[in-house]
Structure 1
Amino acid sequence: MAHKASELELIKLSKRYGQVTAVDAIDLSIPSGSYCCLLGPSGCGKTSTLRMIAGHETASDGDILLGDRNITLLPAAERGTAMMFQSYALFPHLSVLDNVAFSLKMKGVPTAERHGRAQALLERVAMGQYARRKPSELSGGQQQRVALARALITEPRVLLLDEPLSALDPFLRIRMRAELKRWQSELGFSFVHVTHSQEEAMALADQVVVMNAGRIEQVATPHTLFNAPASEFVARFIGGHNVLEAGGQKISVRADRMRLARTAPTEGASVAAQVAAVEYQGTYVLVELAHAAISEFSVVVPEQEFFAAPWQAGESVHVSWASADAHALA
């Protein structure tokens, strides 16, 4: 399948529902051939953004450019995008083959040709042998592959995925995550994937776009996002960070970069706290701490280190960190 890769650009894009602004004049450039995750809590505007790119919602203001075309007002079928829905939205009465071939049927492509192309795509997603089955005879992971094949048959320049893994059990979710990443790499065009799972975004994306209340808080690689969150919201939302005041400024420090001790350290930054709870996580132990001025305070302690001198709830503790591990927040 030959695809012409194209950069996707959103310029001052807004979506209003009556008095409510769901997406607030966002600017975003998604390089061609990249895996982009729109990440944020429910109601942050990520799904509205995806649906405007797809043409399933009309933009209130702004522009959507795909390559050298302004697609803002084009019908969904003429944009060069394809959408893969959370529910997969397969037709229950059609076979897997006819589900995949459906958009070609609507375009008047002859039966033999559309079935040939649909079968080839089913082979590509390891579903060739299930062509004659109905969706109800498939597992969740198999239905997802059919939905992917159906989206790909239109030869999109950008594939849009709306929470595509949320209906799967945790084990299958991790497996399908790896498959999505592989397919994007093989196909070579952009995937734009909406999720509220930080772990999913970190595992999949070249570019993570963190959204909050209709605006973009930060656009970065997963590595940069985790090591240099731009704001308190980002640090708290992606998790694994403690946000606190130190030296007159607000900082974040990764929970795995903090150290616990029973005596106050003689150098470096530290705070006194109390152990609130201890959670064994296998390779590490999560020690949750209580401090009057620091909410959601926890430290990750390697398993071996923890069991050499275990902490108990109620113990007093000194928490320290190296200045190089403190990241200033905007």
Structure 2
Amino acid sequence: MTARTTAAGSPATGSTVELVKLRKFYGSTVAVDGIDLRIAAGAYCCLLGPSGCGKTSTLRMIAGHEDISDGDLLIGDTVVNGEPPARRGTAMMFQSYALFPHLDCTDNVAFSLKMKGVAKEERRRRAREMLDLVHMSQYADRLPAQLSGGQQQRVALARALITRPGVLLLDEPLSALDPFLRIRMREELKRLHTELGITFVHVTHSQTEAMALADLVVVMNQGRIEQAGPPREVFNQPRTAFVARFIGGHNVVEDAAGRRAVRADRILLGRPASADHGTDHQLEGTVRALEYHGASVHLTLDVPGAEDFAVVLDESRFYDAPLAIGDRVTAGWKARDVHPLVA
């Protein structure tokens, strides 16, 4: 495979990203194992998976911060395997933000333009535009130590965006924030993605984050892609038991028919002696744990043939016939709510 266009230049609109049999070794350890993936121009892609699954190594190869052991990486129509980060049309926002403590917000954002020789007045003007984009204009003269974590993150975003990349790479950008700020910053990332139209590639271990942000969710496990697709497809039609369990909200049931998944919020519960749900499948079990979540109640059952069998009930339905830990119950579901798994 050869390059068809030059790698120079940072387009204002999104670029496609394509991984072809991409592999990464650290000594004898295989971190990324021959993955194929195409991210459309302007997409919001989340690489999702547990620690050690290969998602950060994949992101760093796209950025040019890790060498590719084998395979090809294309940005736009260009193979960029050997290109330095500055020539890829990408920008990366690091998990630690990596702001310069001795520079104010304006100079932090303008730093990459300074390195490119852009005149001071021009680079500071463009930095102020970026700070305005992320709603940080009023803090332009402050040092990073004078900002909250969420404000530092906005400055780091502005610094990444000032180069006008075709692809913005985000390495677990919300992990250091408290739950309230995480929700606010998800809204900000979605807004920026919509307004700018560039391609976002976002690494996270949070299923909620991936579902809320992405139009392409890529679930990784042990260096491979288990499943890639729109969030609703991945949630409702998991290919494997790993995806069903990792995404959450599903039970994996193993019986003579093989491995199958059923959503936790499609389960109906009743007492064993009088259970008649009008369901096609039933299991008896014992309530092991329950948690009140406001609009819903989450229960965990001990049942044969399933690990950590979960049930999510509407609050009013649960309190119509409340249960306690240790109660025997019958869990039932309809055949239409069963999804077969390939592995």
- Displacement of 1:292 after TM fit? 3.7
Match of 1:178 in 2: 187
Cα displacement (A) at 1:130? 1.1
In structure 1, the residue matched to 2:282 is 270
Partner residue of 1:303?
315
CA distance in 2, matches of 1:299, 1:176: 30
| In 2: Cα distance, 1:117 partner to 1:24 partner | 41
Name 2:294's counterpart in structure 1: 282
Could you say if the C-alpha distance between residues 191 and 305 of structure 1 is closer, same or farther in structure 2, counting changes exceeding 3 Å?
same
Give matches, 1:170-209, under 5 Å: 170-209=179-218
Unaligned runs of 5+ in 2: 1-9
Aligned to 2:55: 46
1:261 to 270, 293, 297: 270
AA paired with 1:314? G
Matching residue of 1:31: 40
TM-score by length of 2: 0.94
Cross-structure match for 2:105: 96
Change (3 A) 1:255 1:218: same
Which whole-Å deviations, capped at 9, do the CAs of 1:255-278 have from their partners, x for residues lacking one?
000100113436511111111122
Do 2:295 and 2:314's aligned partners in 1 also have CA atoms closer than 8 Å? yes
Residues 210 and 217 of structure 2 are in contact (CA less than 8 Å); yes or no, is this contact kept in structure 1? yes
Query: Which letter does structure 2 place at the counterpart of 1:62?
Result: G
Q: Deviations over 1:91-144 (max 9, x none)?
A: 001111111000110011110111111111111111112111111100111111
What is the aligned partner in structure 2 of residue 214 from structure 1? 223
Q: Which moved more, 1:67-76 or 1:35-44?
A: 67-76
How many angstroms apart in 1 are the aligned matches of 2:113 and 2:150?
Answer: 24
Displacement, 1:70? 1.1
Structure 1 position 2, deviation (Å) = 6.7
Q: CA deviation at 1:293?
A: 2.7
Matched residue, 1:121 = 130
Q: d(CA) in 1 for partners of 2:90 and 2:284? A: 54
1:20 pairs with 2:32? no
Where in structure 1 do 4 or more consecutive aligned residues deviate above 4 Å? none
CA deviation after TM superposition for structure 1 residue 83, in Å: 0.2
Instruction: Provide the secondary structure at the position in 2 that maps to 1:182.
Output: helix
Distance in 2 (CA, whole Å) between partners of 1:104 and 1:279 is 52
**Aligned match for 1:316, one of 283, 303, 328:** 328
Task: Give the share of equivalent positions with the same residue, in percent.
Answer: 61
Q: Which runs of 5+ in 1 are unaligned?
A: none
Q: Distance in 2 between matches of 1:286 and 1:40?
A: 23
Cα deviation per residue 1:173-231 (whole Å; 9 max; x = unaligned)? 00100110110010001000000000000000000000000000000111111101110
Q: Whole-Å Cα distance in 2 between the matches of residues 125 and 27 of structure 1?
A: 34
